[in-house]
Structures are given as structure tokens and as C-alpha cells.
Amino acid sequence: MSYTPSPNRYSQMEYRRCGRSGLKLPALSLGLWHNFGHVDVLENSRQILRDAFDAGVTHFDLANNYGPPPGSAEENFGKILKEDFRGYRDELIISTKAGYKMWEGPYGEWGSKKYMVSSLDASLKRMSLDYVDIFYHHRPDPDTPLEETMTALDLIVRQGKALYVGLSNYDVPEATRALEILKELGTPCLIHQPKYSMFVRWVEDGLLDLLEKEGVGCIPFSPLAQGLLTNKYLGGIPENSRAAKSHGFLQREDITADKLEQIQLLNEMAEQRGQSLAQMALAWLLKDPRVTSVLIGASTPSQLADSLKCMDNTQFGTEELDRIEQILK
């Protein structure tokens, strides 16, 4: 079936200015970290992307290592882009990243100019694109001078291979210095992508303030704490969950009795708001004007639809926010 996007796609999404740039992003962006690799069903991935765009989600976020196997999310995305979104490239914000291991040898990861430029060239080839809208350094490199990595980002923009650059997983001191260097080079940082959720709050210790002061956008990833902030764990640890399998980012020991109690109490609050726990957790991030967009994942079209409903209620009263803080303490 050929695809024609919904004519109403821009009427149901909120768009937020990214820092002090001219770019606006949808309040919810789709991350392709999981569920878009060669191990996944391509038609399911295709339907999720179509449904997202129909709902006004214009930003699709990738990285060189997304899959599995690494690189396959970009390959699948490139295939779907060509077949379904051929005439809509100018309506899309496509981002990718480099920083984690992609190939053997000393130039296959981290932040050297050699790796960064080579990695983006390979990403563009996999997606059959001339340029990406945003190119991120995925994680700080302890051994490469920050000047070299930032100069690589600047070079990539000057080459026309990316329109904007971003940082991911940088703490406050690293981000402060990186933003300074990029500004001096004349390619200011557009956006920072940190891990941030009700359960992971480190960005509140100075990073959000820094981004606001410097006019840089913020796009949290893992907003549902790897599924903890969903209805999946309300009855304990289900057998087919990430935590039960104990591989990947969520371990069984992360789910303590205290955590399960917090999840139960937060879920009761969400029900009072007429939301699912996941919807409330996404809305809670969007309440902060410093958050430009929140990166959501989806394994099925119905899961995507459920997350999108968070937009129906992103307002919180003072009592609600106080109650959430009590629960999270």
C-alpha cells in the first residue's frame, strides 16, 4: 500500500522552539534506538513511522549503532524513507550520532575527527541522504581533546553534511566547555540529549540551567526509565520484560520494593489525572519550558498511540507536583 500522509498532521502536535535557534521541534520525537533493526519486522517499523508522521511527529532520531545489528536501524529507516517519505524530506528533522563502537581498530569509536567524519559518511550512505538535520557527538571522549571533537562537528556543518550539531550524555563541566568552543568556531550547539525521567534527575543539577542560559534546546531520552514508568511493572516483574531478561540497560536488581511502591503510587496519581502512568511521565517532562521535545520509543503502533495521548494533558497543579516529589523521595 502506498502511503499518503494525513492532511491534518500539523493540527494535533505542539511545536517548540529549540533554544534560541530558528528551528522548532515537535513536543514528542520518535527515537529509533530499539525496534527498527534487522532483527525486527520491517512492516511494523514502517507503520510506526507512518503513524508518527500522521500525528505531526516530524523528528526521527537515530545513531550509527542503533539496531541490532549496529547500523541496521539507519538502513531500514533509509529504505522506508525512500519508499514512503520520498516527497517529504523537507518536512522532516532527521538526526544521527557517533561516539559508540562501530568498527574494529583504533578509529572505530569515541571522538576523533577521523572517526566522526567517517561515521557520518557511513550513516548518510546507509540512509541514502545528502545531509542530516542534526549530528550529535553521542558521548564524551576522555582521551581526545574536546577541541578536536568540536572542530569535527564544525567541519561537518561547513561540509554541508549536517545543518546543526548537538551533544549527548555530556555532564555540566564538559557541556560548558563544549558549548564555548562551538560558539567560538561559529557553529553553535543546537541541542543536548541527556537521560532524564522522573527516576533519573541529574540534569536538574545545573544542566537545564546551563542550556537555558546558553539558548540550547534539551531533548531527554529514556523518559519512561526503560519501561519502569509504564504499567508493565505494576504487578512486579513480568517474565518477558527487559528486567526479567537482565540484559541491556534495565537489571532485575534495579527494581526494588521501594521502586515498585513508587510506581504504584504514581500510577494512582496518573489515574486521577485520566492518564496512564507512561502518559503522565511524559507530560511531567514536557511541563518544563526548557525541555524542547521528549524522545519516545515504540515497539508497536498502539504503544506509539498511547504515548501520543500524553499531549491531551500536560498541565500540573502545584499540589500534584508536590505529591510527585513526595512519592519520588
The residue ranges of every structural domain in the chain are 15-229+288-299
Phi, psi of 257 (to 5 degrees): -60, -40
Architecture, CATH, for domain 15-229+288-299? Alpha-Beta Barrel (3.20)
Coil, helix or strand at residue 142: coil
pLDDT in tens, 291-325: 999 999 999 999 999 999 999 999 999 999 999 99
Q: Are 187 and 135 in contact (CB under 8 A)?
A: no
Position 282 pLDDT exceeds 60: yes
Tell me the average pLDDT of the chain. 95
Work out the pLDDT band at 85, boundaries 50, 70, 90.
very high
| Cα 130–Cα 168–Cα 256 angle in degrees, nearest 5 | 135
Work out the pLDDT band at 215, boundaries 50, 70, 90.
very high
How crowded is the C-beta side of 285, counted as CA atoms within 13 Å?
33
**Bridge partners of 61?**
31, 95
Position 38 pLDDT exceeds 60: yes
Prediction pTM value: 0.95
- DSSP per-residue string spanning 203-232: GGTTHHHHHHHHT-EE--B-TTGGGTTSGG
Return d(Cα 222, Cα 295) in angstroms, integer: 7
